[in-house]
Amino acid sequence: MDIYNLTTVTQFILTGLSDLPEVRYPLFVVFAIIYQVTLVGNGAILLAIATEKKLHTPMYYFLVNLSLLDIFCPSATVPKMLENLLTEQQSISFLGCAFQLYFLVALAGTEVFLLTVMAYDRYVAICFPLRYMLIMTKVHCIQLTAGTWAAGFLNSLLHTVSTFRLSFCKSNRVNQYYCDIPPVMALSCSSTYVAEMLVLVVAGILGISASLITFVSYIYIISTILKIQSVEGKHKAFSTCASHLLVVCLFYGTTILTYIRPSSSQHSPVRDRLISMLYGVITPMLNPMIYSLKNVEVKEALRRLLCHRACLQQL
């Protein structure tokens, strides 16, 4: 039941993807399969890079971090969603909601920064190939990666504290299948001005800066590739960044659909929640597929890994 009195909210009700009981179990099966494919796909990328010495380079070091994020991010929301679909218990504790929001925002923010670092890595590799190994040293790569994770989690801590310091004494029904800043903030019965300004200013500055660096990096990359005389050289240079470019477009495209769409009364809550699935569930599943299909080295490493496993099973 919703809570409309002045007592403190101790739990929230997560609105499911559908209230129709006849589609509850089909939805459980579909998203359980998607989640398993996500875990297996990203796990295969991690295993392939770990076992293939040729892939122990800065580019694939960053890809390892991306695969870890693509495992952790849906793991923050999908298991709880599957539990709710299976048991029809849609409640989540106040503390549980805070932790879910914290890790979701932290992991999403870290991915924004990591994609920017990966764009910088491709910029150095293509625009300064002779100095690449001098610039992208092991220590520098670790520093860049540590910086992305630290920035993502510190940024999330700021927003989580500002959101859950609000008073919640109206409805406790979150208009989403997971706890996120906008739907949780909408339930507050106190002023949300400061929290909203923090999201607008801090997240806006960090997000716009990261996207601009990524965009400018690819302008220089494309400009450098177009100056290459041979068709083979252009193809080889572009193939090293094609996978990352697709992942960037997919990530920012689904983020814009989820958070920056123009508001309209014609948008039903169920439709909004289905669109958010693109960002939180579908993208992490597609990323390993993009890298395994578009990247020749990853594709070969996965093929050797599967062949090795098949040979072991025959022994």
Domains of the chain with CATH codes: 20-261+269-313 (1.20.1070.10)
Amino acid residing at 305: L
Distance from chain centroid for Cα 90:
24
CA distance linking residue 215 with residue 248, whole number of Å: 10
- Tell the residue number behind the tokens 């090293």, with chain if given: 240
CA distance linking residue 181 with residue 195, whole number of Å: 9
Half-sphere exposure of 244 (CA within 13 A, CB side): 28
- This prediction has a pTM of 0.90
Chain segment 164-201, per-residue pLDDT in tens? 999 887 788 998 889 999 999 989 988 999 999 998 89
168 torsion bin: left (phi>0), alpha (psi -120 to 50), beta (else): beta
CA distance linking residue 93 with residue 75, whole number of Å: 18
CA nearest to 282, candidates 257, 254, 260: 254
Main-chain phi, psi angles of 92, to 5 degrees? -140, 140
Using the 8-state DSSP alphabet, how is residue 59 labeled?
Answer: H
Chain segment 217-236, per-residue pLDDT in tens? 999 999 999 998 888 888 88
- Could you tell me the CA-to-CA distances from 134 to 20, 84, 140, 252 in Å, in that order? 59, 51, 10, 31
> Is residue 207 over pLDDT 70?
yes
**pLDDT interval class at 270 (50, 70, 90):** low
**pLDDT interval class at 2 (50, 70, 90):** very low
